[in-house]
């Protein structure tokens, strides 16, 4: 079950499945506008920008997540 689900009101949802996340740090290192280390290495989704502006990078980060824990829909 995803830890966080975010909908920016324009139909973009970002989810992180904490159960499968390996805390590799990739997502919040590459896209700190969206992902934040919650303190134990696992990311929280904290949208601090217009998602549409970073959508291309967001999709790349989701694709590069080694455990497939980021779902953008
Ligand atoms: S990139 Fe994926 S595995 Fe790495 S910290 Fe983020 S959600 Fe977890």
Edge-to-edge strand ranges of the sheet holding 13-16: 4-7, 13-16, 70-72
> What distance in angstroms lies between residue 70's CA and the mean position of ligand 1's atoms?
7
3-state secondary structure of 37: strand
Q: Are 18 and 11 in contact (CB under 8 A)?
A: no
Q: What is the pLDDT along the chain (73 residues), one digit of tens a residue?
A: 677 777 776 789 999 999 999 999 999 999 999 999 999 999 999 988 889 899 999 999 999 999 999 999 9
For the domain made up of 4-72, give the CATH fold. Alpha-Beta Plaits (3.30.70)
Q: What is the pTM of this model?
A: 0.92
Nearest protein CA to atom 8 of ligand 1, as residue: 21
- Atom in ligand 1 nearest the alpha carbon of residue 24: 4
Ligand 1 pocket: which of 14, 18, 25 to mutate (most atoms within 8 A of CB)? 25
Q: What ranges do the domains of the chain cover? A: 4-72
Q: Give the whole-angstrom CA distance, residue 68 versus residue 73.
A: 13
With 0-12 CB in 10 A as exposed, 13-18 as middle and 19+ as buried, what is 70?
buried
């Amino acid at each position: 079950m995803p830890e966080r689900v975010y909908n920016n009101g324009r139909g973009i949802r970002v989810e992180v499945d904490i159960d499968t996340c390996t805390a590799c740090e990739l997502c919040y290192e590459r896209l700190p506008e969206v992902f934040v280390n919650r303190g134990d290495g696992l990311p929280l989704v904290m949208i601090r920008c217009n998602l549409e502006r970073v959508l291309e990078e967001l999709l790349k980060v989701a694709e590069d997540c080694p455990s497939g824990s980021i779902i953008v829909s």
